[in-house]
Amino acid sequence: MKNLKYIFILASILTLSLTSCSDWLDVNENPNSPTNESAAVDTRLPWIIHWYTYTAGVTNFRTSCTAGVYYSNSANPASLAVTWACAAGNTTTPYQTFFVQVSSNIKDMYNKAEKEGAYYYMAAANVFHALGFMEMLDLYGEMPYTDALTGSAAPFYDDGKTIFNGCIAKLDEAIELFGKTQEPTAHALSKGDILNGGDVNKWIKLCYGLKARYLLKLSKKAEFNPQDILDCLAKAPQSNVDNSIVLCYNKSSDATEPLFGDPIMTNGNWDYAAYGSNQRISQYYYDLLTNMRSSGVLDPRMSKIVPACMSNIKLDANDKVQSYDWLRSKGVDFTGASTRLQAGGATSIQAATFAATDVTIKYNIENATARAAFIAALVHSYTVDGDVVEVTYPKGSIYVNSTDYKYAGDTVYVNLRNNSTLTGNASVGEMDMNWYFTTQAMSAGAVGSTGSFQVRPNSDQEILTYHEMCFIKAEVLFRQGQTGPALQAYKDGIQAHLDMMQAKLTEWKAAGYQNPDMWPMEASDISAYISSAAVCQSAGDLTMADIMLQKYLAMGCSIENWNDMRRFNFSAGNIGSFGVVYPGYDRGPLFAGQAQITGGSKTDPTYWQRRWRLPATLELTYNATNARAINSHAEDTNIWCIPIWWDCATDDEYYNYIK
C-alpha cells in the first residue's frame, strides 16, 4: 500500500465557492487554510459520507454485474458478468476511494470528536468504519485492518475473521456512544449529518440494522444465531420512515470533485451504472420483473426500473418530435441461451443513435438463412442485391450505425444512462435527466433513455432500508420453521419496497419532472400485484427462493445481492434443504474464466466468483509481502474463486484456502 495522502483538504478548499440546499458543502472553521487539525468534525462528516457513497456506488455496480443484475459492454465489468475471466481493472477504485478518502478521515474525525466530547461524531465514525471495512472484507477477504490507519507505508494484513469481529465491535461502541449526551460545546450532529439529519434514533436503528445484515453473513457457520439477528431487527428500522438514505441532487450549482471529476451531489450508484451508455438490464433481472414465480404477472415496478427510449419517431416541419412510441428495453441474456452475444461477442451490444437525416446502410449477409431472417424483421424500406441488403433509415429513426447486420437489432436494448446538468443536459435544465442519443436528438426532443429508478443522478443512495430488514426477518424466520410469520415478513418486504418507490415517484412528479418513468405507479396495479401469483400467498408454499428473489429484485444495485448469493452457493442447491435459491443463474455460454474460476462442478465452491483479487497497482505492487504473508495465494490468478472467511462453514476450511 502506498503512503496514502489525505484528499480532504482539497475537498475543503472546493467548498469555498459552493452552496447547496442539502448543506453538503459548508466551509470549515478555517476556510482560508484548512488543515487536518483545523477541519471541524461537522465539516468532515459530510465528505466521509460522500466518499463512502462513491465507494459503495462502484462496488454496488460491479458486484451487481457478477450477481446478474446488469450487463455492460465495457470490458472490465463485462468480465464479471459475461465471461467470468475477471479483469484486474475492476478492483482498484473501491479500494482506493475507501482508503484514501474515507478511512483516513474516519480516524481523524473520531479523535477530534473525542477531544471535544462530540460522542455522536465518534459514533458516526464507527458506523462508517464498519460500513467501509466490511465492504472491503466482502470484496477482498484479507486486507490491512488493525495496522491500516497507523501511517505505515506497508501495513500488515488481518484475516477475515479479525476484520468481521472488529466491525461488529465498532457498531457496538457506536450504539453506546449514541446513547450518551454530548458535551455542551460539542458540534451538533445535525450540522454535519447529511444521512439522518441529526436524528440519533435513526443512527441507532442503522447500527442495529447493520448488525443484523452482518450477522446474517454467518449463516453457513455453526455460530450462526438467528435469535441474535431477530433481537437486532427489533431495534432496527421499523418502517420506511427509519430508512437511512443519502438524498442526492441534480443541481446546476453542483461542482465536480477533485479526484475523478464527477458531480459531487449525485447518486453514487449512478456514477457507475448510469453515467455512461454502456450498461443495460440483464435478462435474469428482467424476467423477475415480468415473470416472478413463472406467473406471467407484470410487476408494477418494471416500467420504473427498466428504461425506455422513443421509437417510431415522426418529426414535424421544424425537425421536432411530433409523435412517437415508447420502446421498453429488453434484457440482455448472458446466462441463458445468449444468442445475441454468442453471435457478436461478450461486449458487442451496440448503442443506438438518431438519424438527423435519412441514413442508408449496406449489410453484407452471406448466409441465406440469416439474410432472410434479417429481411423479415425489417420495418424500413430496403433493397436486396445478392448478399447485400441496403436499408434506408428515414430522418428521425433510431438505428445502430454499423454495417454488421448482427448489431442492427440492438435498438431493443436501451441503456441505463441518465444525464446530470454537468454531464450533458445543461441546456435543458435540472428537471430533465433523460439521455438523448445526440445533440440533434436533444434538439428534436428524441429521448434515448428514461433511466432507471435506483440509478438516476437524484435517486436516493440507499444505505439501509426497512425492506431489507423485512427480508432478513423473513429468511431467519423461515430457517426456524416459522413459515407463517416468515410469509408475513416476506410480504411486508415487498410492500415496503413498493411503498418506498411510490413515495419517491410521487415526490418526483410533484416536483415537475416530465419523465413518465419518474411518475407514480397505479395504486390498483400495486394491489393487484401483491395479491397475484407473482407473490406467494400461502405459508405452506413459501420457499427460500421466494424470499431471496424478491429481496434480490428490491435490493437491485447493491453488493448485498452478491453476498446473499454466496451464502446460498448461487444455484448449486446444496445449502440445507432450501433447494436452488437462484434458479437459472450460472456460467453462461461465453464463459472464458477457466484460469480465474477453476471449479469443475456447481457444488464446488470454486465454481463461482467469491472474491476480488487485490488491486495490482496498489497492494500487489507496494505491499505484496504482507499480502502473501496472510494469504499465500493472494497473487494467484484463481484467487477470484477462493471463499472469504464468512463464506466458509468453519475456520479450518477458510485457513486451508489461504494457507
The pLDDT tens digits for 100-111 are 999 989 999 999
Strand 70-72 vs strand 279-281: parallel, antiparallel, or unpaired? Answer: antiparallel
Handedness of CA 124, 128, 134, 138 (dihedral sign): positive
Dihedral of the CA atoms 163, 602, 483, 498 (nearest 10)? 70
In this structure, are residues 598 and 563 in contact, taking their beta carbons and an 8 Å threshold? no
Give the DSSP letter of residue 641.
G
CA atoms within 13 A on the CB side of 83: 22
Torsion-angle region of 72 (φ positive above 0: left; ψ -120 to 50: alpha; else: beta): beta
DSSP state of 70: E
Per-residue pLDDT at 8: 37
The pLDDT of residue 14: 34
pLDDT tens per residue across span 631-649: 999 999 999 999 999 999 9
User: Which grid coordinates are listed for 407?
Assistant: 448489431
* pTM of the complete model: 0.95
Low-confidence ranges of the chain (pLDDT < 70): 1-35, 426
- Residue 55 CA to residue 50 CA, distance in Å, equals 9
Contact between residue 395 and residue 313 where contact means Cβ atoms under 8 Å apart: no
- Is 278 within 8 Å of 413 (Cβ atoms)? no
Q: Are 78 and 347 in contact (CB under 8 A)?
A: yes
Cα separation, 464 vs 210, whole angstroms: 7
Burial 118-155 (b: 16+ CB within 10 A, else e): bbbbbbbbbbbbbbbbbbbbbbbbbbbbeebbeeeeeb
